[in-house]
Amino acid sequence: MTTVDDIRARLDIVDVVSGYVPDLKRTGKNYHARCPFHQERTPSFVVFPDTQNWRCFGGCATGGDMFSFVMRTENTDFTGAMRLLAAQAGVRIEERRERNDDDPLYGLNDAAQQFFKQSFIAERGAQARAYAEGRHIGEDAAARFGIGYAPSTGGELLRSLGALGFNDDLLLRSGLVLRGDDGTPSRDMFRGRLMFPLRDVDGRIAGFAGRSLDGSDPKYINTPQTSVFDKGRMLYALDRAREAIGAEGEAVVVEGYMDVIAAHEHGYRNVVASMGTALTETQVALLKARAQRIVLALDADAAGQEAMLQSLRTTWELVGSVAAGRRRTEVLNRPDDISSLRIVLITEGKDPDELIRNDPAQWQRLLADAVPAVEFLIHAEASRLDMGSAQGKSALVERLLPVVFAVPNWADQERYFSRLAEIVGVPVATLEAAVGRLQGPLHSQQRARRPAPEAGNRELESVFTVAEHDPLEERVLTLLAQDPEFMAQVEEVDPDTFVRPENRAVLFALRDAGTMEGAIAQLDGQLADRLVRHSLEALPPADRKQRTEEWTGCLRRLEERRLRNLKAQEAAAFSSDAVGDAPADPEYVQAVQRQALEVNERLRDLFTKGVD
């Protein structure tokens, strides 16, 4: 028996959840409460004792087992949830495997940080201190965020680190010094710049950013990519913001370091920065693991709007219908991405830094009035096209239909679809006919004719069934561990389709690290051993076509299983012995029915793809 199975055998999900949700009450066969993850009046959060899982039929539209519940409630990862539940169950777990925290670059970066801080407070740091004060960064804020100064002489850091015993190879690997013609360290990379330490989510210094003090270009330079630093996999100040993000359920993303410091100093501690680039998928994953909503706040000028559109194109993959020879329908498997995203354009000042300092109340109002991403996209893309021409209208519809169809709430879909029809100047019915939508989720009469959710007359496979092994999930992990081509596609594997929490944890590690070695370094005891076993498991002979068909088939079966079990939950939520004698609340019934229709649509799409 694994540690996970031991915990499950000793704990009941009702006891676990009731420890966090005091108003959990039994109603018939199941337990109901107001969802702890969003504000609501009508209880839509359901715990199913029979299958040991939970689901929100309201705004969250998510669910899982006791591990996923604790992960979300405690804002922690799988290992953290397992440790908490093991302590509650009295289960002893192995000591944590040694993580790759001993990379010597962390120690070198710590030493460099001490050098930059001392230079900032020394006499030679007068210009840097004056610049910081001019940007309203006082002594306390500078100390809290570790602001430093890189002297303009260009060799002092090199000499300081060398005197501390760091060898030439490590100095060159750090990116803090430049290589001379003879291949040895020659001078400091950062010279005459205000220095910002860049910490990972655990607070370790992974790299640095330096801002010019004299207005010269480039304004900012970062540590080059190293074994511990990749700016596309980090967010500035996430280590300081993660608790506030988890508590508030919202993460606000700005562009610059100064913006973040101003926000935190004025009490808005759920703010992070993307470090000057469009958000990457890894950065989004870091935020979505902790927040229900993500707000992108950028300047309202042309550059700011273009950066916003670029972020939406590259990260959420929502603009444009064809890429790499296929329609971008993958977003339908991640329906919460677009609906959880909101946009703020800063029009009251040059940037969030200035607005927060001069008018914090207006900053608060802007965040409260943030517009849904779909609404922003509709107006932004329409402004970039010629709406007076048939070509422009056609291009707008082609770009935005995948976005509208990715919205999980049918009422919002219909509203955005109507807005799209209004902008292109045709009746809704005409646009529906033009794009072949008469049988789709936007047609209200068709919705009314659809059957109610299946009553669960036959046993359906449950994604929450307790089993020591799951061959389908384990085959996917084996393919990932042994085939670099599939490892490059690891982001296509939806963690929500995995039943076994330990398999989910291994998948998350593979997605986060991008390599087998990195994933093994992240995992603890049994989990690391599990991944090693997958890498050594013998696979039957197959050519590339057969192996690819096996991979695709596994992913399709996982998704089908997930959808069928959602339907089983809906049936369980409606069964007579599940709701008791009292009539169910109409809002709750509507929420369950709405999700049932959405699941039916996804199943239909899945079967259509399979036939094609």
10-residue block means of pLDDT along the chain (612 residues)? 78 92 87 87 86 84 87 84 87 57 88 96 95 93 95 93 94 94 93 96 94 89 92 92 90 92 94 80 79 81 61 50 30 48 76 86 89 86 84 84 75 86 85 59 36 29 40 90 90 87 88 82 76 78 88 87 78 58 58 63 58 40
Q: What one-letter code names the amino acid at 341?
A: L
The DSSP call for residue 380 is H
For Cα atoms 27, 29, 30, give the angle at the middle one, nearest 5 degrees: 65
Predicted local confidence at residue 44, as pLDDT? 84
- CATH superfamily, with its number, for domain 3-89: Zinc finger, CHC2-typedomain (3.90.580.10)
Burial class (CB in 10 A: 0-12, 13-18, 19+), 510: buried
- Distance CA(178)–CA(45), nearest Å, equals 57
Q: DSSP readout, 233-266?
A: G--BTHHHHHHHHHHHTEEEEES-HHHHHHHHHT
- Distance CA(273)–CA(237), nearest Å, equals 7
Q: What one-letter code names the amino acid at 130?
A: A
Which residues fall within 8 angstroms of residue 553, CB to CB, at 6 or more apart?
A: none
Give the three-state DSSP class for 23.
coil
How many CB atoms are located within 10 Å of the residue 55 CB? 26
Q: Are 137 and 195 spatial neighbours (Cβ–Cβ below 8 Å)?
A: no
Which residues fall within 8 angstroms of residue 270, CB to CB, at 6 or more apart?
A: 241, 244, 245, 248, 250, 251, 252, 291
Which residues fall within 8 angstroms of residue 340, CB to CB, at 6 or more apart?
A: 288, 291, 292, 293, 294
What residue spans define the domains of the chain?
A: 3-89, 105-227, 248-444, 471-611
* Helix H or strand E encompassing 148: strand 148-150
- Distance CA(297)–CA(314), nearest Å, equals 17
pTM of the entire predicted model: 0.57
Angstrom CA distances, 435 to 322, 400, 427, 440, stand at 15, 12, 13, 10
Predicted local confidence at residue 250, as pLDDT? 92
Q: Are 406 and 338 spatial neighbours (Cβ–Cβ below 8 Å)?
A: yes
User: What's the distance, CA 576 to chain centroid?
Assistant: 38
Q: Are 306 and 255 spatial neighbours (Cβ–Cβ below 8 Å)?
A: no
How many CB atoms are located within 10 Å of the residue 133 CB? 12
Tell me the CATH architecture of domain 248-444: 3-Layer(aba) Sandwich (3.40)
Predicted local confidence at residue 272, as pLDDT? 96
Domain 471-611 is found in CATH 1.10.8? no
- Distance CA(53)–CA(466), nearest Å, equals 11
The DSSP call for residue 122 is S
Q: DSSP readout, 442-501?
A: T-HHHHHHSPPPP---S----TT---S--HHHHHHHHHHHH-HHHHTTGGGS-GGG--SH
Strand partners of residue 298: 345
Q: What one-letter code names the amino acid at 596?
A: A
Domain 105-227 is found in CATH 3.40.50.920? no
Which residues fall within 8 angstroms of residue 427, CB to CB, at 6 or more apart?
A: 421
